[in-house]
Amino acid sequence: MNNSRNFSAGPGALPLKVLQQVQTSVDKIPELGISILGVNHRSEWFASLMRQAEDNLRQLLCIPDTYTVLFLQGGSSLQFSMIPMNFLRGTNKVAQHIVSGYWSSKAPKEAMHEGKVNIIWSGEDSNFSSLPDLRSLNLDRNSAYLHYVSNETVEGLEFGQTIESTDTPIIVDMSSNLLSRSVDISKYDLIYAHAQKNLGPAGVTVVIAKTEFLNSSVSSLPSMLDYKIHQKANSIYNTPCVFSIYVLNLVCEWLIKDVGGIANMQSINEKKASLLYKTLDRYSNQFVIHASPAYRSNMNVVFKMHDRNNEALFLKFLAQKGFSGLEGHRSLGGIRASLYNGIELNAVQDLCDSISEYF
């Protein structure tokens, strides 16, 4: 296996430069003389790192001052529960959900523990191969919020459009595409993303929320599940994942200094995805792409072979060339190539060349 050819869906490939910096820091951070794995979370150095990480995220995503940034734990799965606990519990309102794939179908199941849930759109009939038009949704203005997933990691579906501002609070799981493209944060009330796709290693989960919305959350929750407690403690209510936040900051610095910002990253990501989809389309007699063309994800390219019996051989051929992480999600099977920020354009070109070589 080879880091530059790691097409895993998550934890995914990180930029090679960041991996090199991490190696040094595990030994010792030059200005501290100790390993990043032994840095105290109450130290002035770490407080400054947290500020840098937040500032860098704010700069990359143009996060307005009216928004709070939190670094939490528990992965995106904990957000499936924290969101309804904080914003649905005891409100007598309904949580509206779009169910467009594997991950978005998990969220309403957790919300049901806290209140009423309305699935306003489901892609089940199309075997989760398409997405709704976000601009023509019939939203209940009195609902607690609308929840959806901007990029379905398992099925390879990505919303190309943003939602129009509405009276309904909008909550989006951007776990698999945050930092991969420009996003107008002001359209959303709460965004969350775990790190292990485009942000860094697993451990930290970033929450970006309109501060006014955060303050509207219910009270009397267990401390670790209460956004307001984490906000008041500047995300150091308990021991945060020091290492993950450190690497997230390195990734942000790489995006700012080496890539030149999110617009450049987006254009590289579009080129990578277009290259791979074009190759698969050229071999449409061999492959079926899961997503309908209008909803193809730039992050996760999900496909299978017409001859399913050939898949194992095809994956073995690619593995021999150093490609890894290409097996489809266990719920869907087939093949999935994840093109996160850490994957370079030439690695996608190599993958395409190898596909051509196979046939």
Ligand X SMILES: Cc1ncc(COP(=O)(O)O)c(C=O)c1O
Task: Summarize as ranges the residues that interact with ligand X (CB under 6 A).
Answer: 10, 75-77, 103, 149, 153, 173, 175-176, 194
Residue 191: enclosing H or E segment and its boundaries? strand 190-194
Question: Which residues make Cβ contacts (< 8 Å) with residue 49, sequence separation at least 6?
Answer: 245, 246, 249
Closest CA to 295 of 193, 161, 148: 161
| 173 is annotated as an active-site residue | yes
The active-site residue, picked from 121, 167, 187, 197, is 197
How many helices (DSSP H) and strands (DSSP E) are in the chain? 10, 12
Cβ 99 to ligand X shortest distance, Å:
13
The active-site residue, picked from 45, 65, 103, 184, is 103
Phi-psi domain of 307 (left: phi exceeds 0; alpha: psi -120 through 50; beta: other): beta
Cβ 104 to ligand X shortest distance, Å:
8
Cβ 202 to ligand X shortest distance, Å:
7
| 197 is annotated as an active-site residue | yes
| 103 is annotated as an active-site residue | yes
What letters, b where the CB count within 10 A reaches 16 and e where it falls short, cover 39-78? beeeeeebeebbeebbebbbebbebeeebbbbbbbebbeb
| Residue closer to ligand X, measured from CB, 74 or 322 | 74
| Residue closer to ligand X, measured from CB, 39 or 112 | 112
Q: Which residue has the tokens 């107008």?
A: 184
Cβ 151 to ligand X shortest distance, Å:
6
| Residue closer to ligand X, measured from CB, 46 or 148 | 148
The active-site residue, picked from 28, 121, 125, 173, is 173
Whole-number Å distance between alpha carbons of 194 and 172: 12
Cβ 268 to ligand X shortest distance, Å:
21
| Residue closer to ligand X, measured from CB, 130 or 349 | 130
Cβ 132 to ligand X shortest distance, Å:
17
Position closest to ligand X via CB: 75
**Angle, helices 311-320/345-358, rounded to nearest 10 degrees:** 130
| Residue closer to ligand X, measured from CB, 107 or 252 | 107
**Angle, helices 16-27/242-253, rounded to nearest 10 degrees:** 140
Closest CA to 226 of 101, 83, 91, 125: 83
Answer for the pair 203, 195: CB distance below 8 angstroms, yes or no: yes
Whole-number Å distance between alpha carbons of 203 and 177: 17
| Residue closer to ligand X, measured from CB, 69 or 149 | 149
Question: Which residues have a catalytic role annotated?
Answer: 103, 173, 197
